[in-house]
Amino acid sequence: MDEITITPIKNGPYKVVGKVRLVDHQGIPYVVKETFILCRCGQSSTKPFCDSTHRKVGFVAEQTASAAPPSALPPPPAAGTAAPTASP
């Protein structure tokens, strides 16, 4: 299996590298290359992909992996259940 890497870019999107199957909420696949960029700021007009709007809106996200201990992360959803949604 090829390794997949997802990198949160400082103050920007997620960079996804590797052979990934990306599907929409209906399970319909997007056509993606082996490297693509996903919006993390929520402001892109081409969601789920980044269109660089994060620069215009001043999106800030500087978290690092070392700042989030595994115990602080939510548990994964049980098989066959929907993932939890963020609170407003």
Site string for ligand FES, 26-45 (x = CB under 6 A): -------------xxx-xx-
Closest CA to 13 of 48, 38, 43: 38
Instruction: With CA atoms as reference, report the closest residue to 25 among 82, 84, 86.
Output: 82
Element (H, E) at 15: strand 14-17
**Contact residue for ligand FES among 12, 18, 32, 33 (CB under 6 A):** 12
- The CB-of-51 to ligand FES minimum distance in angstroms stands at 5
When asked if residue 50 is in the footprint of ligand FES (CB under 6 A), the reply is yes
Rule CB under 6 A: choose which of 8, 15, 32, 51 binds ligand FES. 51
Residue 16 engages ligand FES in binding (rule: CB under 6 A): no
CA distance 69 to 37: 25
